[in-house]
Structure 1
Amino acid sequence: MPLLHLLPLVDLSLALAIGAALGFFGGLFGIGGGIIAIPLFVLAFAMDQAMAQGTALVLMVPNLLIGWWRYSRKHPVGWRAVLSIALPATLTTWLLAHFATRLDAQLLGHLFCAFLGILSLRLLWQGRGGREPVTGAPLRPAALPLVGVAGGSSMGLLGIGGGLVATPLLSGWLGQRQTVAQSLALALVAPSSLVALSAYAGAQRVDWSLGLPMAIGGMFTVAAGVALAHKLPERRMRAAFAWMLLATALWLALAPR
């Protein structure tokens, strides 16, 4: 086969493989893989920040939908709770996604990096006291719209963060188990990601040729990540989640562009 015919196949195989890896880690941490995909697109594919966020959403949408379905089977939370957190998040996402596509790319990148760093350090600080994992407190429905607005704000502005903001709020502030918190967080970000993708696509900030193969690859591995998440100890899950955020923030901040 001529070399020119092989190159597109190599590119496609690489995109599928990267998508599979991102899908696995997205399922493991309930985040859709965007936290890793966006820095990868910026540093390895030389995308501007808005384009990276929009392309990552192509990967995230199916992963988030599958992850939500898998988590909700083991940890059903009820449609009233789902709507209480998802509707405010979706509206907030729509408003801020349109704003984000008009921001300076460098400023958007700084906001993204700072967000990851601050969140990871906070999670590590919270875990340093050696407290026992939360066993599950009664859910407070009145607080869920506030969590939805917080998660939707990050989702719209940064293309990620619905789960990154909502999960620690749900597990720390509202006292939910980590897997239950991730189930609710996925209920927040799954519809919000569709709205954000629509906004970024409308602003021509999506590379479909890269995002679609990665999305296909991720769909085959996200369930394995979710299955592993249910086998890991609570404390180890939280520590791994925080260290992954910090490593990604440092990578994005220190790597040359």
Structure 2
Amino acid sequence: MAQPDNTSRSRAFHGPAFGWGAGIGSLGGLIGLGGAEFRLPVLAAIFRFKMLDAIIINLMVSLVTVIFAFLFRIGMTGIAELLPYLWVVANILSGSLIGSWMGVHFATRVNERLLTQVVVVFLVFLSAVLIGHEFIFSGLGLDIPLPVAVVLGFFAGIVIGLFSSMLGVAGGELIIPTILLLYGLDIKVAGSLSLAISIPTILMGLSRYRARQTFGELQQFGGFIGWMAAGSILGALIGALLMVYTPSTALHVLLGIILLISAWKLAMVKLRTPRKAGR
């Protein structure tokens, strides 16, 4: 599918954008993610956006998806169970905002090919974590003294924010394991806390990209972004509804396989084709 390169042509992609948004939003909503790790390969490999443009669009759609996914999840489970863990949100967020600020600096200074290689490696890493999730995180969290957990949570937050703004993801794929490891919380609670942390982290990244005047060329794709965001809202609702019926083990393996395929597809399109494929 060729990249929509002007306003009139982009209208033809509204339907596919909505469909992809709904499907990806459903996957992300199932485990408390914004779906960005699945959406980024679609934007870059199927719609053929340049990697930096795909990252920024991904952050925009992720913001909408994460907000609604959070609202849907607390609507299903209630806000009361999260209130005792707001300190966890503050702990990780204190680092993720710093990391998000730093990530934009890197993403806007490297070339297209290097940025794509970073994304592909990151997707493969996430795939391995998801597929081996039960083995890696069985018996966790760790029995870490609270002061140590707070310090580690801050530095983990920096890494999370760095990858969030640099790769256009909400960061949940790193936040959830961090919460499981350091604080030993239930995975469904961790998923909701992850969404709460992701919202300000994404806002920081978008504000930094805007300050660097990287939004100008994306104005013509406002309709495309809007339709994908609308589909993502529907998908987030579907994911929240299905969350209570889906076995966690099977879900992580399925999503890991999808990510691995996505990484392969992205590498084939972006790293083995002439540069003219980009905009």
Q: Which runs of 4+ in 1 moved over 4 A?
A: 6-10, 131-141
Provide the rounded CA distance (Å) in 1 between the counterparts of 2:19 and 2:204: 26
- 1:49-107, Cα deviation, whole Å (9 max, x unpaired): 11101011121111111222333452414332222222321221022113312221110
Q: Compared with structure 1, are the counterparts of its residues 124 and 173 closer, same or farther at alpha carbon in structure 2 (3 Å cutoff)?
A: farther
Mapping for residues 21-100 of structure 1, pairs under 5 Å: 21-72=23-74, 74=77, 75-77=81-83, 78-100=85-107
RMSD: 3.0
* 1:107 counterpart = 2:121: no
Q: Which residue of 1 aligns with 2:236?
A: 222
**% identical aligned pairs:** 24
SS of the aligned residue for 1:193 comes to: helix
CA contact (8 A) 1:135 1:177 kept: no
Provide the rounded CA distance (Å) in 2 between the counterparts of 1:98 and 1:212: 26
Match of 2:124 among 96, 113, 117: 117
Provide the rounded CA distance (Å) in 1 between the counterparts of 2:129 and 2:17: 33
Gaps of 5+ in 1: 1-5
CA contact (8 A) 1:93 1:153 kept: yes
Give the counterpart letter for 1:243 in structure 2. I
Provide the rounded CA distance (Å) in 2 between the counterparts of 1:170 and 1:115: 19
CA contact (8 A) 1:90 1:195 kept: yes
Q: Compared with structure 1, are the counterparts of its residues 219 and 126 closer, same or farther at alpha carbon in structure 2 (3 Å cutoff)?
A: closer
CA contact (8 A) 1:85 1:148 kept: yes
Q: Compared with structure 1, are the counterparts of its residues 147 and 44 closer, same or farther at alpha carbon in structure 2 (3 Å cutoff)?
A: same
SS of the aligned residue for 1:240 comes to: helix
Give the counterpart letter for 2:60 in structure 1. V
Mapping for residues 119-198 of structure 1, pairs under 5 Å: 119-128=126-135, 140=146, 142=150, 143-160=152-169, 162-198=171-207
CA contact (8 A) 1:58 1:208 kept: no
Provide the rounded CA distance (Å) in 1 between the counterparts of 2:207 and 2:188: 29
Q: Which residue of 1 aligns with 2:214?
A: 203
Q: Give, in angstroms, the shift of residue 8 of structure 1.
A: 7.1
CA contact (8 A) 2:43 2:49 kept: yes
SS of the aligned residue for 1:167 comes to: helix
Provide the rounded CA distance (Å) in 2 between the counterparts of 1:226 and 1:62: 15
The count of residues paired between Structure 1 and Structure 2 equals: 251
Which one is further off, 18-27 or 172-181?
Answer: 172-181
Provide the rounded CA distance (Å) in 1 between the counterparts of 2:122 and 2:166: 11
